[in-house]
Amino acid sequence: MTLQQEAQQIQDYLDITCSENPEEVLERIRSIMPYISRTAFMLAEAKKALRRKKASEISNTIINIAKEQCLSAKVQNTLIDSIAEEEAYLVDWLDRLNAAATHQVDALRSILSYERENLRLNKTGY
């Protein structure tokens, strides 16, 4: 499975809305926790691929063009970024997936705390 395919699978799961049922919330937290770790690893792999792409044959092409002094440094950097567009997109996507999973777990914990407090109040009458 490629990083893109795995990222799409995680994205699809994170897009599912969770109810406020405490059991479902707990199960969802358990399911998302490994995604946080996995997306962090996937992000590191995507960044490595991006750096590799920027440092490969494309860099040699840019160096040859730069030797002729026909491109400014800004244009050279823009060209490198455009050549590595897919890799940069994957890096951005995985960064956002990792953040989304983290925020979703935080939100689910808040829902769980709220439900726990409601249960406590209903039992004690306060």
* Whole-angstrom distance, CA of residue 63 vs CA of residue 96: 33
> Residue 18: left if φ>0, alpha if ψ -120 to 50, beta else—which one?
beta
Mean pLDDT for 2-25 is 94
The structure tokens listed for 39 are 């997306």
CA nearest 54: which of 37, 78, 70?
78
pLDDT tens digit sequence for 51-66: 888 877 676 777 777 7
Split at pLDDT 50, 70, 90, the class of 109 is very high
In this predicted model, what pLDDT tens digit does every residue of 56-92 receive, in sequence order?
767 677 777 777 777 777 877 777 777 788 888 999 9
What per-residue confidence (pLDDT) applies to 24?
93
Q: For residue 126, what pLDDT band results from cuts at 50, 70 and 90?
A: low
Q: With contact defined as beta carbons under 8 Å apart, do 33 and 123 qualify?
A: no
